[in-house]
Structure 1
Amino acid sequence: DAARVRRIAEQPTGEWIGPENPEREARGFTEAAAKAGRTALLVLYDIPHRDCGQYSRGGAADGDGYRAWIDGVARGIGDRAATVVLEPDAVLHLVDGCTPQEFQEERYDLLAGAVDRLKSLPRTKVYLDAGNAGWGRPDQIYGPLRRAGVEKADGFAVNVANFYSTEDSLAYGRRLSAKVGGKHFVIDTSRNGNGPYTGGDPAEHWCNPPGRALGEPPTTRTADPLVDAYLWVKRPGESDGACKGGPKAGDWWAEYALKLAAASE
């Protein structure tokens, strides 16, 4: 079991910045990465009305609170190198309608403002989350991505915390890239070794599905020049939510981690 846990622990994974001390956390993660000769991978997930009230609901109380939080992250990063995955699901939840209409205009403004603030930093790359191969077609999302500031970002991220294969994610990303000016993208390969789960309730396929496996280790050596990196944005072994026997979203679930590692041997 120790060897299996090491297979996860030895890989660089995303650091999800918490709501309380964004400047301190961003500074700590980027300083530690710089000392190790690496680039920090930060995930920003604090948009108001986050996750449509589902397992990961929460986020900043309002737009001003979010802007202050983003500013704290930016001050913490400073002139150190960082790669940022910006707001998983935030654009998709505009497309699928689960973000109430009265909050949609503000969300576009907050996302575009976050891209601007982070891209004012000298060594920060920003990838705006763009869903996954099983959720929304590129012709549904490219307009919203543009409104959310993807043209000023370095690109977009696909398959964050999801399970679609690298092959399917590449195809989805290529189609989407063609709609947004040839932007590059990154793929979360952390848990996609066996592709998506197809049993049980389709609405819960994304939540702690059984029989999944670790995917390709993080690398910038990818199968397509449009793909800047395969990343482990989601830390394998952290729960998706209180489903299928798992703890609350983000909590470590050792049993699930061991199964992911074992399935990829």
Structure 2
Amino acid sequence: MPRVRTTRLATGARRGAAVLLCASTVCLPQGAGRAVASGGGDGPDSPFWVQPAGRAARQVRVWEERGREPDAAAVRRIAEQPTAVWMNAEDPRRQVEQIAEEAERAGRIPVLVAYNIPHRDCGQYSSGGARDAAAYREWVARAAAGIGEHRAWVVLEPDAIAQWASGCVPKEAAQERLALLAEAVRTFKAQRGTSVYVDAGNAGWVSDQALLAGALKEAGVGEADGFALNVSNFHTTPVTREYGDRLSDRLGGAHYIVDTSRNGNGPLPPSGVEAHGEEAWCNPPGRALGAPPTTATGDGRIDAFVWIKRPGESDGACRGAPPAGQWWSEYALDLSRAAAAGPPAVPPAPEPAPAPAPPAPVPAAPGPAPAPPPAAAPPAAVPPAAAPPSPQT
């Protein structure tokens, strides 16, 4: 599946491992897992489809059978939320048809991720993609045909534009990449029930928003429903909102969506990166589930908070984790436990600053600095379950 970097990019930034999710080689029993009811998240403002037998749901079943009720309850928090499905089949039509049909029967909308651009991930954890432009066009056409008349949201190519901006894409592929994305937008939007959001990286990646906005325009964002931010990354919603609103201004007020799947505690602080000797985006410890998927964002330009990255799937083979996109139950537990009583509430939209009050005649003495928050406890060990390769963002 996808990954996003926390490091601000100037020239060649690196990105995290992404999660390619879907039918794959999972080490859990084929029929294991008390299926989560196919439907949507809690509340009327969560219209998205919950995959009834996803990896988290299967892990819940395994732990229930082993009597690990507290662990099962923790991971059930993930299993019961709608998460995106990464289209990873060589011919995605049947995979997408099955998802779209099941979601329609449940009266819900599936969130799909197109992640097959040529020279994907610049040779990192989730490298691969279509062999050339012609193969990519055919793949997109097959995916769109699978959606057909059904409703669906499509997140288009995590990291593709941010990596283009970083200069890591080979010259020939870079020249055609934006045009391919624009064609993909038109192909998916030809399906009348499909909403499309072009990935735009994250708040810690491309600092040159003029460059990013220009690339998004060339990639067809004007014909899409908007852009996506923070896919597979950890930046908080307020930070992402500030970045997204500035980018939206450059795009004529374009709407956007935010991946809140793992941003409950924000990204790993620089001191944590130094202490652990790994990049901040790759399975950082002490992170937490973020606000649950919803369209009630409190911001007119943010269409939804979504879980595009599937919590519990590895960013890559770092910090003792399995390869990118494979299920890592230990990390799933870490994310859920760090979220304490549950994912945080949707943060309110910023309000206008009040008029400044007249200065006080006598300035108050400064108070003591607040104490730093306690460090999160390390995740508990649990049996890993293999999963398909995933994108990095």
TM-score (structure 1 length as normaliser): 0.98
The partner residue of 1:226 within 279, 301, 312 is 301
Counterpart contact for 2:195–2:225, Cα < 8 Å: yes
CA distance in 2, matches of 1:262, 1:203: 22
Question: 1:261: which partner in 2?
Answer: 336
SS across alignment from 1:105: helix
**Higher Cα radius of gyration:** 2
The partner residue of 1:77 within 144, 147, 160 is 147
The partner residue of 1:173 within 244, 254, 267 is 244
Counterpart contact for 2:278–2:318, Cα < 8 Å: no
The partner residue of 2:287 within 197, 200, 212 is 212
CA distance in 1, matches of 2:96, 2:254: 26
Which structure has greater helix proportion?
1
Q: Which amino acid aligns with 1:48?
A: P
Q: Which runs of 5+ in 1 are unaligned?
A: none
Which structure has greater strand proportion?
1
Counterpart contact for 1:19–1:69, Cα < 8 Å: no
Q: Percent identity?
A: 57
Note the alpha carbon deviations across 1:35-70, whole angstroms, 9 max, x for none.
111001000100000000000101011111111100
Shift of 1:163: 0.2
Counterpart contact for 1:19–1:59, Cα < 8 Å: no
Between 18-27 and 232-241, report the one with greater CA deviation: 18-27
Counterpart contact for 1:19–1:46, Cα < 8 Å: no
Runs of at least 4 residues off by over 3 Å: none
Note the alpha carbon deviations across 1:213-260, whole angstroms, 9 max, x for none.
000000000021100000000110000111111111111000000000
The partner residue of 1:27 within 78, 85, 97 is 97
Counterpart contact for 2:87–2:96, Cα < 8 Å: yes
Q: Supply the RMSD in Å over aligned alpha carbons.
A: 1.1
Counterpart contact for 1:14–1:42, Cα < 8 Å: yes
The partner residue of 1:93 within 155, 163, 169 is 163
SS across alignment from 2:93: helix
Question: 2:389: which partner in 1?
Answer: none
Instruction: State how many pairs are aligned.
Output: 265
The partner residue of 1:112 within 182, 198, 210 is 182
Is 1:42 the counterpart of 2:42 in the alignment? no
Counterpart contact for 1:85–1:128, Cα < 8 Å: yes
Shift of 1:103: 1.2
Between 237-246 and 254-263, report the one with greater CA deviation: 237-246
TM-score (structure 2 length as normaliser): 0.66
Q: Which runs of 5+ in 2 are unaligned?
A: 1-70, 341-393
Question: 1:195: which partner in 2?
Answer: 266
Q: Which amino acid aligns with 1:62?
A: D
Is 1:102 the counterpart of 2:172 in the alignment? yes
